[in-house]
Structure 1
């Protein structure tokens, strides 16, 4: 059932973000960058994609002027990305659509049941071993 819920959510988000020219991973990247700059590796972990995939996502957002990052790393290989003004504006627009979908998603669950569901999902995530533990 969790996979079916995730699939339905992803489908709705794809549909809502498409008119804005965004994919779900691109939206997630913009959302993670909202508080401040992050490296591609940090973004990849946050979006649950490979570093290579995230690099492509960041590059596409950079080409559209939605994120900025230095061409050359200040030290090492880390080149943090950060939102531009255009990226912040598009994120604000996309957030409205995504928040409406989230509200619809939990509409069928009564008030305190939402908190319980979140707690139970957190417990599941905490108790599942990582792939490295297998």
Structure 2
């Protein structure tokens, strides 16, 4: 038997091997995006999770740790570390206490908005490279397909 074959298992779609699978190609694209972002953000003194947190807070100020964790695809524990680092760097503020509940809403500082704008230039240039790799007529369909794929695994 060929070592590449698994008896009784049918591949999800025709592909000569794992390198042609959708999941592998998605992971490959994600790894390339992450590496490019890591490199670009280093010049701004930010990590990808820190940048993502700043982006989300700019769009939706006042989000809680749990909401930020979900929106940036990290654990709540990791988001605690990210928030503490951003707060220590003066890029966001959170109240020391809240009147009700435990959620301490985070808000960008002026320096946080400035650092985000500078980093956005680098990150948006990377995204532009991604977008240019797809014919403009196909981009809306690609985005819709990616959304459906994520939903299919989340349902």
Query: Residue deviations 1:11-30, cap 9 Å, x none?
Result: 00000000110000000000
Distance in 1 (CA, whole Å) between partners of 2:116 and 2:145 is: 29
Q: Find the counterpart in structure 2 of residue 109 from structure 1.
A: 134
Matched, 1:121 2:143: no
How far 1:81 moved relative to its partner? Answer: 0.6
Report the alpha carbon displacement of residue 74 of structure 1 after superposing the two structures with TM: 2.2
Which residue of 2 is the match for residue 74 of structure 1? 99
Greater than 3 Å deviation, 4+ residue runs: none
Q: Report the number of matched residues.
A: 130
Structure 2, unaligned stretches of length 5 or more? 1-24
Q: TM-score, normalised by structure 1?
A: 0.93
Whole-Å separation in 2 of the counterparts to 1:129 and 1:107: 29
Q: CA deviation at 1:37?
A: 1.3
The 5 A counterparts of 1:1-134 are 1-35=25-59, 36-129=61-154
Structure-2-length-normalised TM-score? 0.81
Q: Secondary structure at the match of 1:49?
A: coil
Range 51-60 or range 104-113, more displaced: 104-113
Pairwise CA RMSD? 0.9
Deviation of the 1:78 alpha carbon: 1.0
Residue segments in structure 1 that go unaligned for 5+ positions in a row: none
Query: Larger helix proportion, structure 1 or 2?
Result: 1
Q: Give distance in 2, aligned partners of 1:9 and 1:129.
A: 22
Shift of 1:38: 0.7
